[in-house]
């Protein structure tokens, strides 16, 4: 194929669907997902399995499609609610990463902030015996404040001493992991599960085994809050002075400073917001999706949130949909493994491919822009 023909091919296959900049925040992630699933299908074919059947089983396991049969008190509805329960902390964690991204910061310490928030909420509220009406809102408040304080510390160190936030958050992850593990094993260990003692049902943010219409459901109370929070974050970023200043700092710190924007204050504020959202992720994870904490373990969800945020183009509404997709892959992997005979690790491969392709989003924008310019030049020469 000649060079001109190649350029024409890429022009019609890439430029036409991706050239509209208004729709690029949607079209580019969709292309990323499509490429990722095609690559995953190739991997599944290479191990001798049917990718269509595998993906069908994946959606069945996540509660998107019906299974042939269900255990007692279970149905597609209960599977879907379990999906939303797992998705809730992921939305909060991904919003935490997205807010930091907007301010030009990389919060890789979401897992540590989740752990600290979850632990403090557990020992302050989870073991307190408070009534549910008081306990549940207090859990959210403790988580948000604890995460915000850690995020604020990271932002202050960045502003005051120019300590890279990636280094700070990674170190704080390790500190949180081992210090909290010490306290759990010394004071709060459950001798049977070897995890922290289970919290009271009054403090838990998921209503477990609620019987409705002869079905036992897990109802995530934090899900609606996660959606509202995403909308609120979008409003703050798009419609307020605070959001404008944070995005200006993220785009160009020197230009923002020259324009009179307080770079230090916005750096700290962005990390406080990011940490607060990570704290909400922590309490909906450790006191919602689960009801105890495993010592010496950082949740992988804090790291998955980076991929989810990238896939959602760091857009709060995009984060909701990307969280939904990644949760489907994660929740459906067990059923896919049992039905299609494919190892669960394939789901991690798919998520990894999504992250890899999503990270190339800016390159896709650049390539589309260049091809678009060449297309305009070619038409001008022809005319």
Is it the case that residue 19 has pLDDT exceeding 70? no
Q: Are residues 233 and 348 in the same domain?
A: no
Identify the band that residue 172 occupies on the pLDDT scale cut at 50, 70 and 90. Answer: very high
- How many other CB atoms sit within 10 Å of the CB of residue 321? 17
Identify the band that residue 215 occupies on the pLDDT scale cut at 50, 70 and 90. Answer: very high
**How distant is the alpha carbon of residue 80 from its chain centre?**
18
299-to-46, 115, 177 alpha-carbon distances in Å = 31, 8, 10
| pLDDT value, residue 32 | 75
At 155, list the tokens: 């932002």
Top pLDDT among 343 and 304 is at 304
Instruction: Provide long-range contacts, Cβ within 8 A and 24+ apart, for 190-198.
Output: 190/292, 193/292, 194/295, 195/292, 195/293, 195/294, 195/295, 196/119, 196/122, 196/292, 196/293, 196/294, 196/295, 197/127, 197/292, 198/291, 198/292
Q: Are residues 349 and 337 in the same domain?
A: no
Q: Are residues 168 and 317 in the same domain?
A: yes
Q: d(Cα 333, Cα 340) in Å, to the nearest integer?
A: 10
At 309, list the tokens: 């945020």
Q: Are residues 111 and 248 in the same domain?
A: yes
Q: What is the pLDDT of residues 231-253, one digit of tens each?
A: 999 999 999 999 999 999 999 98
Is it the case that residue 370 has pLDDT exceeding 80? no
Q: Are residues 134 and 172 in the same domain?
A: yes
Is it the case that residue 223 has pLDDT exceeding 80? yes
Half-sphere exposure of 65 (CA within 13 A, CB side): 13
Q: What is the pLDDT of residues 127-165, one digit of tens each?
A: 998 999 999 999 999 999 999 999 999 999 999 999 999
Q: Are residues 230 and 379 in the same domain?
A: no
Q: d(Cα 27, Cα 68) in Å, to the nearest integer?
A: 34
At 262, list the tokens: 């307080």
In a domain, 59, yes or no: no
**Which range marks the domain in which residue 271 is found?**
70-341
Q: Are residues 256 and 355 in the same domain?
A: no
Total domains in the chain come to 2
* Mean pLDDT for the stretch of residues 208-220: 92
In the block, which residue shows the tokens 């890899």? 356
According to DSSP, residue 250 is labeled H
Q: Are residues 217 and 91 in the same domain?
A: yes
Is it the case that residue 183 has pLDDT exceeding 90? yes
Q: Mark out the alpha helices in 103-194 (DSSP H runs).
A: 110-121, 132-161, 165-183
In a domain, 104, yes or no: yes
Summary count for the chain: helices (H), strands (E): 16, 2
Across all residues in the chain, what is the average pLDDT? Answer: 88
| pLDDT value, residue 341 | 82
Q: Are residues 43 and 83 in the same domain?
A: no
In a domain, 152, yes or no: yes
In a domain, 62, yes or no: no
Q: What is the pLDDT of residues 280-328, one digit of tens each?
A: 999 999 999 999 999 999 998 988 898 889 888 888 998 999 999 889 9
- How many other CB atoms sit within 10 Å of the CB of residue 294? 16
In a domain, 54, yes or no: no
Q: Are residues 34 and 122 in the same domain?
A: no
Q: Are residues 368 and 249 in the same domain?
A: no
In a domain, 58, yes or no: no
> pLDDT exceeding 90 applies to what percent of the chain?
62
CATH number at 87 reads 1.10.3470
- How many other CB atoms sit within 10 Å of the CB of residue 255? 11
Q: Are residues 114 and 127 in the same domain?
A: yes
Instruction: For 46-75, give one letter per residue: b (16+ CB within 10 A) or e.
Output: eeebebeebbbbbbbbbbbeebeeeeeeeb
User: Are the C-beta atoms of 118 and 256 separated by less than 8 Å?
Assistant: no
Q: What is the pLDDT of residues 41-93, one digit of tens each?
A: 888 898 888 889 989 999 999 999 999 989 888 999 999 999 999 999 999 99
Q: d(Cα 101, Cα 124) in Å, to the nearest integer?
A: 31
């Amino acid at each position: 194929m000649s060079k001109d023909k190649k350029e024409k091919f890429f022009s019609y296959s890439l430029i036409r669907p991706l050239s509209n900049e208004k729709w690029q925040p949607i079209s580019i992630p969709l292309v990323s997902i499509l490429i990722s699933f095609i690559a995953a299908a190739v991997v599944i074919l290479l191990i001798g399995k049917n990718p269509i059947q595998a993906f069908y089983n994946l959606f069945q396991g996540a509660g998107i499609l019906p299974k042939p049969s269900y255990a007692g008190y279970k149905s597609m509805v209960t599977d879907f609610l379990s999906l939303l329960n797992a998705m809730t902390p992921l939305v909060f964690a991904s919003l935490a990463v997205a807010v930091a991204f907007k301010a030009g910061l990389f919060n890789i310490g979401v897992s540590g902030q989740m752990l600290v928030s979850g632990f403090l909420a557990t020992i302050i509220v989870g073991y307190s015996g408070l009534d549910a009406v008081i306990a549940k809102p207090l859990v959210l408040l403790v988580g948000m404040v604890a995460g915000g304080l850690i995020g604020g510390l990271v932002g202050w160190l960045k502003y005051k001493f120019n300590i890279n936030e990636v280094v700070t958050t990674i170190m704080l992850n390790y500190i949180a992991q081992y210090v909290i593990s010490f306290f759990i094993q010394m004071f709060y260990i459950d001798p049977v599960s070897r995890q922290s003692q289970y919290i009271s049902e009054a403090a838990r943010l998921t209503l477990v085994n609620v019987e409705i219409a002869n079905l036992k459901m897990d109802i995530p109370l934090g899900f609606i809050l996660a959606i509202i929070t995403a909308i609120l974050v979008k409003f703050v970023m798009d419609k307020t002075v605070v959001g404008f200043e944070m995005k200006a700092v993220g785009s160009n710190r020197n230009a923002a400073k020259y324009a009179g924007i307080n770079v230090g204050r916005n750096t700290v504020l962005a990390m406080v917001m990011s940490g607060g959202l990570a704290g909400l992720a922590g309490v909906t994870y450790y006191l919602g999706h689960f009801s105890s904490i495993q010592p010496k373990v950082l949740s992988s969800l804090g790291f998955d949130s980076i991929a989810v945020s990238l896939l959602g183009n760091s857009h709060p509404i995009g984060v909701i949909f990307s969280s939904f997709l990644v949760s489907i892959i994660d929740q459906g992997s067990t059923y896919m493994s049992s039905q299609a005979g494919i190892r669960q690790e394939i789901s991690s491969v798919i998520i990894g491919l999504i992250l890899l392709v999503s990270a190339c989003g800016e390159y896709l924008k650049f390539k589309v822009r260049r091809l678009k310019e060449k297309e305009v030049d070619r038409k001008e020469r022809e005319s």
